Amino acid sequence: MSSNNSGDNPTLSEEVDDSSSSIQERLRAGARQVLVAFFLLVLAAALWELAKVITGSNDRTMPHIWDTLSFLGSTTSQNENYSWFLFKNAWSTAKASLIGLLVGTAFGLVTGTSIARSRFVGNGLMPLIVAAQAVPIVAIAPALVLWLGTGGVTKTVITTYLTFFPITVATARGIQSVPKESHELLRTYGASKRTSLRILELPFASPLIFVGLETAAAFSVVGAIVAELPFGSKEGLGVVILTSWQFYITEPRALYCVALTSCALGAVFVLSVRLMAYFALGPRSQGEVL
Amino acid sequence: MSGESQNFGLRATQLGKRFSSKGGDVQALENVDLEVKQGGFMSIIGPSGCGKSTLLRAFSDLVEPSTGEISVNGKLPSEARAAREFGVVFQSPNLLPWRTVLRNVTLPLQVMGVDRQSRNQTAQEMLDLVGLESFSRHHPWQLSGGMQQRVAIARALSTNPSVLLMDEPFGALDEITRDRLNLELMRIWGNLSATILFITHSITEAVFLSSQIAVMSSRPGRITELIDVNIPYPRNTETRDLPEFYELVIEVRRALLEASALTT
Ligand SMILES: Nc1ncnc2c1ncn2[C@@H]1O[C@H](COP(=O)(O)OP(=O)(O)OP(=O)(O)O)[C@@H](O)[C@H]1O
Ligand SMILES: [Mg+2]
């Protein structure tokens, strides 16, 4: 989506005095972020334990963090390591999320561009898209499953549906905010619509599009899990969540483990997008420019 | 495309432009006659809002004239644009911040489909010309305003245009920097022999650069006076100390005052 920063001339070995983007500086900034994230995780765990003490919950409803984590090492009825079992299902969910995210992004880029380009399309389509966003997907997911089956198609439809919206809005907004002078600049060189999309509009909009993509990435995981919840699905984190609900009374730790796994998957998705943005946009991903 | 008009880099005959909007119509230009010989340097000076940018935008095919005729190298502006005969320098540098300096300069060539290697080479030459050869890998935000404007000039020159349209390119700069860039522009122009239409609010800048100065009045925007600057080129720092220079500055100031008096 952004071929902009590919650097036309890697052979020019002139020194770049841009100290803000030196490798060391970047690594240090990255390390700092990891540290902060780790600290927040520890804090969350501490709060959990504190809440447990304050509310006087028993170990059944609120198991200790370490108890929950130790459950990851247990064995399932299929004689499988529980972590491996979770990983397998997470992998299945991840695949579905990714497909939906890609399809939704493609649709979103096209729709967003058409909305920005044509007032007619924009005025007609935008309210529809916003209205469609109000449909509670969890409510209609079972109906979709009845209609499209429990296979990959349903998952893709639901995740696409969820990811399409943030990308569309971000793309449309981004392209609409290209300054008039930049358009005039390209016009004086007789740039075609396609060229100006490639050289000007998409690169200009890409920081916003990446923000939309981050939201979409989180939505895609939620969408895939929701698609797996209806009875009849065979694998995925949604299925594991469903079975863990059934056994919650006897083994609450299973549910917490799969919940943590879902969070982790979402985090992996969002962070991957952020990393992509970082490499594609450089300092612009930090909002330093524009 | 008559043989006669071929000699003019820029020509407007009875040019008029009327903007219609909800708040009422504005006659931005009326009966404007302007002729710039090929290789000539014409400055336009006039009160704010008198239609200078509109005139320049008409030449650069960004504004459609309401009446009259207009030509660039004897061609319609749209044809001249298609033939890449003019380059435009806007009032703001108008650089793309995600592109390096070099890639900002290559932009017009990229649009034209020139291959990467030759467009990089041309851009590097243009950067040499404006004295920014060592900043090719920087980004626009790492440059001062004056340097950014020089990049914009290098970009406009990259297609080797025979006509340069410049809308207050140094308007936002301090006087020292402006003087320096004026000198640089003279040097560049001497090497290129392009036709230049140059809009400015600075009397000394207009006198220093131009072979002819058109003074405009506003509402409706029209040319009230044409002043020839008979100071031989090449011009340099000493030019500003010549008595002719002072006389011309005084004459342009008077013409400008008269033009402003016409405006109510
Ligand atoms: N696109 C437009 N729509 C409506 N009116 C316009 C438009 N462009 C310019 N005008 C009007 O035309 C008149 C001339 O504007 P123009 O920008 O050419 O002035 P200018 O001489 O360049 O002024 P300045 O020195 O401040 O840049 C102004 O009254 C302006 O309001
Ligand atoms: Mg103007």
Q: How confident is the model at residue A12 (pLDDT cuts 50, 70, 90)?
A: very low
Q: Find the CB nearest A185 among B82, B94, B116.
A: B94
| DSSP string of A194-260, one letter each residue | HHHIIIIIHHHHHHHHHHHHHHHHHHHHHHHHHHH-STT--SSHHHHHHHHHHTTTT-HHHHHHHHH
Residues of chain B with pLDDT under 70: 1-6, 263-264
Per residue in B161-193, pLDDT tens?
899 999 998 888 888 888 888 998 898 888 887
Q: Provide, for chain B, the percentages of residues in helix, strand and coil under a 3-state DSSP scheme, each rounded to the nearest 5.
A: 40, 25, 35
| pLDDT at site B264 | 55
Q: Give the domain ranges of chain A.
A: 1-57, 61-286
Per residue in A133-164, pLDDT tens?
777 777 777 787 788 877 778 888 889 988 99
Structure tokens at B17: 């432009």
User: What stretch of H or E contains B35?
Assistant: strand B26-37
Query: A interface toward B at CB cutoff 8 Å?
Result: 4-5, 7-9, 12, 14, 16-18, 181-182, 184-191, 195, 199-200, 203-204, 206, 281-282, 284, 289-290
Look up the CATH superfamily of B3-85+163-263.
P-loop containing nucleotide triphosphate hydrolases (3.40.50.300)
Beta carbons of A257 and A71 less than 8 angstroms apart = yes
Q: Find, among B80, B75, B89, B27, the residue nearest to B54 by Cα.
A: B27
A19 has a pLDDT exceeding 60: no
Q: What is the DSSP letter of B63?
A: S
**Chain B residue whose CA is closest to A181:** B94
Counting residues of chain A whose pLDDT is more than 70, the rounded percentage is 89
Q: Find, among B153, B162, B161, B160, the residue nearest to B39 by Cα.
A: B162
Q: Please judge whether B141 and A289 are an interchain contact, meaning their C-beta atoms are less than 8 angstroms apart.
A: yes
**pTM attached to this predicted model:** 0.81
Q: CA of A256: how far to CAs of A83, A86, B25, in Å?
A: 13, 12, 69
| pLDDT at site A113 | 93
Per residue in A253-287, pLDDT tens?
888 899 999 999 999 999 999 888 888 887 676 65
| pLDDT at site A203 | 93
Q: What angle do CA A159, A162, A164 make, to 5 degrees?
A: 100
Q: Please judge whether A17 and B120 are an interchain contact, meaning their C-beta atoms are less than 8 angstroms apart.
A: no
How far is the centre of ligand 2, averaged over its atoms, from the C-alpha of B255 (Å)? 19
Residue B240 CB-density burial (10 A; 0-12 exposed, 13-18 middle, 19+ buried) = middle
Find the mean pLDDT for residues A60-69: 83
Q: Give the domain ranges of chain B.
A: 3-85+163-263, 95-160
Q: Find, among A260, A270, A265, the residue nearest to A45 by Cα.
A: A260
**How much is the ipTM here?**
0.86
Q: Find the CB nearest A5 among B90, B98, B107.
A: B98
CATH of range A61-286; options 1.10.10.10, 3.40.50.300, 3.20.20.140, 1.10.3720.10 = 1.10.3720.10
| pLDDT at site A290 | 43
Q: Which of A7-11, A61-65, A215-219, B145-149 has the lowest mean pLDDT?
A: A7-11
Residue A217 to residue A270: CA distance in whole angstroms: 6
| pLDDT at site A289 | 43
Distance from CA of residue B16 to its chain's centroid?
20
Structure tokens at B229: 């600057």
Check the CA dihedral B112-B117-B123-B126 and report its sign: negative
Residue A218 to residue A159: CA distance in whole angstroms: 10
How far is the centre of ligand 1, averaged over its atoms, from the C-alpha of B21 (Å)? 12
| pLDDT at site A8 | 39
